[in-house]
Structure 1
Amino acid sequence: MRSSNPVFSRRGFSRGEGYAGFGGQPQTQGSPGTGGNPYAGTNPYAGGNAYDTAYQAPPSAPAQTGRMTMDDVVMRTAMTLGTVVLGALVAWFALPVSEKSYGLGIGAMLVALVLGLIQSFKREASPALILGYAVFEGVFLGVWSKIFNFMWPGIPLQAVLGTMAVFVGMLVAYRTRLIRVTARYTRIGMAIAIGFVILTFVNVIAAMIGGGDGLGLRSGALGVVVGIIGVALGAFFLSLDFKQIEDGIQYGAPRKESWLAAFGLTLSLVWIYLEMLRLISILRGDD
């Protein structure tokens, strides 16, 4: 099964059976055949990964340089998220709440979508595309957040705090192994995510045709349930991102892949923030 996050559905980041490998052996020492990784024995990509021939050193060779590290991921993620925040702040302070600003925000969202799709289908990470996506996504979020703030004062801050809480909670749960990214976990989560996306798309089409809230998925008690599911799916995507970053570092992904890790985390966090905005708006009185 391939990743729901397009940046991880490329070579080296495939989520087949819930795991990903970047070489025949991880970079840490361990018992033969597993390299100290409890997942290596069940990893269908270990030893058959696109990075095997290009990056894997012989057992007796010294460790190669240019491999992805946690510092690389943290730095690239900070740059990408920082660009999103900067774009959002510029839009927030420079654009008034108006139909023109709304149209500009939608346009920025579409540009961000195109840049994200282009990056997703590229074989290598492009920092220019990723940062370009971050700029336009930030502008969209700034416009969208200001509109929500106009209707429900203070809601963007609440959504940011909620997003941070979900991120920290999932990170702690993943690091303490309260959540384990297994094949079954991935299959069930992906099935729910696909159904959620299809239902959301149908709701948008119904709203465009019939007006109003479409199928009523974003208002009332049903809207709260859908919002909670949306946030939970964002948390699910984060857990998959954490797993791929962990495996990427352990199995020796090239350093440039840290840009894809940053891109994937940004996509997941943006998803959670938007779902938080919608959920909190309903709880505060959407009707």
Structure 2
Amino acid sequence: MRQSPLFSNIKTGEAYYDDIDCANYKGICAKTFFLLAIAAIVAAVTAFYIPTIIEAGNFGAFYIALAISSIVGFVSVIIGRFNDRAAKYASVIYSVCEGLFLGCLTVIAESFFPGASTVAIFSTLIIFVVMLTLFATGILRVGNGFRKFAFGFSLGAIALILFTSLIGLFIPLQAYIWVLILVELFLLIYGVITLSLNFAEAQYVVESRASKGAEWSVALGLMVSLIYIYVEVIRLVIMLALNRD
């Protein structure tokens, strides 16, 4: 029996609105770049004004800004990753806080090694492009085995952080600088692994036709991984600069 054109149009319209209401790669990319832009702008403004604050001897404001941005950023990540409805607002708050944190960190890093922020930006970009290419082409597959490996790697990362924090209480920094460099490389690899998990999460959200709100949660996850990688590269550059001296 010939289907009514009106009924056909109604079905087509329903499918169209279903596609609009569901998460997609375009939405995830747009939201991720939006959050990155917020963080970059806030970081640039912070890096511009921080030297003036330090020269004025107002170190209290500097440390308070670092502490508040870290705490609020951490809380916003927890909220945004577990609540899709709040993810939009939590993601923006996180980006602002991390922009403030990164601005302060960049000023510190540049004092140790001029150009450290440039190295970190390009390194993060290269890592992102390479890992995205490997994932998109199917060379990198994130299955149960990979997830178990990532979990074990995360436990190793926590153990290394505790270990280096402990020996730092008894041994001068220069005495174990190469140990710290190796630890930073390990933690950087951990960041790359979490980025791969973010790509898999994005794929799952899109293929399972999750709500548009899930795009913010995925974008937030990508932001966390990218900023983590940037910070670890900065730390690695600082360690290498200290070892050179």
Name the structure 2 match of 1:197: 158
Name the structure 2 match of 1:241: 198
Paired residues in the alignment total 223
Alignment pair present for 1:225 and 2:151: no
Percent of aligned pairs with the same residue? 24
**SS class of match (1:104):** helix
**SS class of match (2:33):** helix
Cα 1:212–1:143 change in 2 (3 A) is farther
In 1, the alpha carbon distance for the partners of 2:45 and 2:220 equals: 21
Name the structure 2 match of 1:87: 42
In 1, the alpha carbon distance for the partners of 2:119 and 2:239 equals: 13
Cα 1:246–1:118 change in 2 (3 A) is closer
In 1, the alpha carbon distance for the partners of 2:82 and 2:135 equals: 29
Alignment pair present for 1:165 and 2:126: yes
Which runs of 5 or more residues in structure 1 are unaligned?
Answer: 1-60
In 2, the alpha carbon distance for the partners of 1:265 and 1:271 equals: 10
In 2, the alpha carbon distance for the partners of 1:200 and 1:214 equals: 17
**SS class of match (1:284):** helix
Quick one: which amino acid aligns to residue 85 of structure 1? A
**SS class of match (1:252):** coil
**SS class of match (2:85):** coil
Quick one: which amino acid aligns to residue 42 of structure 2? G
Would you say the 8 A contact 1:102–1:144 is kept in 2? no
Alignment of 1:1-287 (within 5 A): 62=15, 64-65=18-19, 66-96=21-51, 98=54, 99-100=59-60, 101-122=62-83, 124-204=85-165, 207=168, 209-210=169-170, 213=173, 216=176, 219-220=177-178, 222-286=179-243
Kindly state the Cα deviation for residue 186 of structure 1 after the two structures are TM-superposed: 1.2
Kindly state the Cα deviation for residue 224 of structure 1 after the two structures are TM-superposed: 2.3
CA offsets per residue over residues 58-94 of structure 1, 9 Å max, x none? Answer: xxx8462400111110111011111111111111011
Kindly state the Cα deviation for residue 266 of structure 1 after the two structures are TM-superposed: 0.2
Cα RMSD between the aligned structures? 2.3
In 1, the alpha carbon distance for the partners of 2:90 and 2:172 equals: 36
Cα 1:214–1:281 change in 2 (3 A) is closer
In 1, the alpha carbon distance for the partners of 2:82 and 2:165 equals: 26
In 2, the alpha carbon distance for the partners of 1:187 and 1:118 equals: 25
Structure with more helix by fraction: 2
Quick one: which amino acid aligns to residue 230 of structure 1? L
Would you say the 8 A contact 1:203–1:214 is kept in 2? no
Kindly state the Cα deviation for residue 123 of structure 1 after the two structures are TM-superposed: 5.6
Q: TM-score, normalised by structure 2?
A: 0.82
In 1, the alpha carbon distance for the partners of 2:223 and 2:156 equals: 22
Would you say the 8 A contact 1:91–1:139 is kept in 2? yes
**SS class of match (1:254):** coil
Relative to structure 2, which stretch is displaced further, 100-109 or 232-241?
Answer: 100-109
CA offsets per residue over residues 210-238 of structure 1, 9 Å max, x none? Answer: 5854994xx22x22221221111111111
Would you say the 8 A contact 1:206–1:215 is kept in 2? no
Name the structure 1 match of 2:6: none
In 1, the alpha carbon distance for the partners of 2:31 and 2:93 equals: 14
Quick one: which amino acid aligns to residue 176 of structure 1? T
Kindly state the Cα deviation for residue 194 of structure 1 after the two structures are TM-superposed: 1.9
